Amino acid sequence: MSTVFWFRRDLRLGDNPALLAACAHGPVLPLFVLDPALWGPAGPSRRAYLAASLGALDASLRADGGRLSVVRGDPVRQVVRAARAVGASEVHVAADHGPYGARRDREVEAALAEEGVALVRTGSPYAVSPGRVRKADGSAYQVFTPFSRAWAEHGWRGPVAAPTGVKWQHLTEDTTEVPRPPLPAGLTLPEAGEEAAHRRWAEFLDDGVADYDERRDRPDLPGTSRMSHHLKWGEIHPRTLLADLAPRRGAGAGIYRTELAWREFYADVLDARPDTARDYLRAEYARMPYDEPDERFEAWCAGRTGFPVVDAAMRQLRAVGWMHNRMRMVSASFLVKDLHVEWQHGARHFLHWLVDGDLASNNHGWQWTAGSGTDAAPFFRVFNPTSQGRRFDPDGAYVRRWVQELADPERVPDPHDPSPEVRHSVGYPLAILDHGAERREALQRWETIRR
């Protein structure tokens, strides 16, 4: 019996239970559908990264005597067509819990059923699939700590090996090349693919995880794993990481596990409340007065606010399609609480550039910062961008790295708060706003929804 394995956010051969399930019955067609509904909005970083990752997946399949068949168009039509072409009776996938993916899969499932073909879901991009961890009353958690406890108690299966001895099939008609659009000037991306993911993970296990607890909040140090884009595209599964962390007892490994739990938590929250991809989780925040994005929003996007650490963060995003977590919080807070712009505008800008851009982690990271999301992230706790810079980038190395105008210590002795004269002489903008005044303004606006 032939089957189709439809790759989506699981671009790997190893530790892929859904692929193993597909391979259990006979010849397998490895398929990727270039869906215009996802490709278009993905932004330049994710499009280019996805193209590279599909190239790496194809190379792995070719090394095993197969190849990846890529088709373009509506998945409902394309998956049915592929199943028909190889006479498959099952199409295997890892479940997609995102609002679009879940809906798309239901439609594909119904269309396949009309042809007598089953859509078989095995696992998901998470150690514990969204929807599994529930409170005693059956409802979803909205607070992280009890979720993470229940998540750890629930547990997960161990990693599985890559399939062997598979007879791979391919489509002979109407396949397409993955477009490789040129990257916008100034943008460079990390290496994609399963091998690169394992290499990076091995490096981090060797020389990063032990002091992750101490270094992870420092954007000036290479203190985090840089695994987010590999996880986003499923080039490695979190279960593989959790299995490697299990024997390690140090604080670094423990906190790393907790960070992975945040990823799972936000996927669970979004699964329970798909509307929160766009709307406020705490509905009252929709009533707060906000400003429309104007030229100050443009300055924020371009990294020209005159607040060095915010500008460094926004320029890092444009340069490498990634931003350090603390800087994501600081720059997001700046948009919502200093510029009084709704979080959705910032979330969209992030998703346009982030190579790890993920609806659940991004939009709930934004809602958390905006005070409208899960957990106790009180709105009145407003980040001061200058003191955040001094605290987490104590030598100014991060600011100097990303804000060229402030790079020279001779000309700019204090990169976190250069004087107006220094700014003028190096061509760096004056601050576009007074943080103290905007903080007070933010709190006044917040009062209007507390009454």
Q: Does 362 bind ligand FAD (CB under 6 A)?
A: yes
Q: Does 11 bind ligand FAD (CB under 6 A)?
A: no
Spell out, one character per residue from 104 to 133, where the chain touches ligand FAD: x when CB under 6 A holds, - when not. ------------------------------
349: helix, strand or coil: helix
- Give the H/E segment covering residue 88: strand 88-93
Q: For the chain, how far is it from start to end, CA to CA, in angstroms?
A: 64
Q: Does 276 bind ligand FAD (CB under 6 A)?
A: no
Q: Which of 133, 148, 165, 178 is nearest to 66 (CA)?
A: 165
Q: How far is the CB of 320 from ligand FAD (least distance, A)?
A: 11
Spell out, one character per residue from 313 to 332, where the chain touches ligand FAD: x when CB under 6 A holds, - when not. ------------x--xx--x
Q: Does 195 bind ligand FAD (CB under 6 A)?
A: no
- Please give the structure tokens belonging to residue 171: 């489509």
Total residues interacting with ligand FAD, rule: CB under 6 A: 27
Q: How far is the CB of 111 from ligand FAD (least distance, A)?
A: 31
- Please give the structure tokens belonging to residue 439: 């903080």
- Beta carbons of 73 and 33 less than 8 angstroms apart: yes
Among 365, 371, 396, 418, binds ligand FAD (CB under 6 A): 365
Segment lying near ligand FAD (by CB under 6 A), choices 17-25, 128-136, 226-234, 303-311:
226-234
Q: Does 224 bind ligand FAD (CB under 6 A)?
A: yes
Q: Which of 60, 79, 63, 83 is nearest to 71 (CA)?
A: 79
Among 156, 266, 383, 446, binds ligand FAD (CB under 6 A): 266
Nearby residues of 414 by Cβ (< 8 Å), 6 or more positions away: 396
Distance CA 255, CA 234 (A): 21
- Beta carbons of 93 and 20 less than 8 angstroms apart: no
Q: Which of 261, 341, 246, 362 is nearest to 299 (CA)?
A: 341
Q: Does 258 bind ligand FAD (CB under 6 A)?
A: no
Q: Does 361 bind ligand FAD (CB under 6 A)?
A: yes
Q: Does 358 bind ligand FAD (CB under 6 A)?
A: yes
Catalog residues that contact ligand FAD under the rule CB under 6 A: 216, 224-228, 231-232, 259-260, 262-263, 266, 325, 328-329, 332, 350, 354, 356-358, 361-362, 365-366, 369
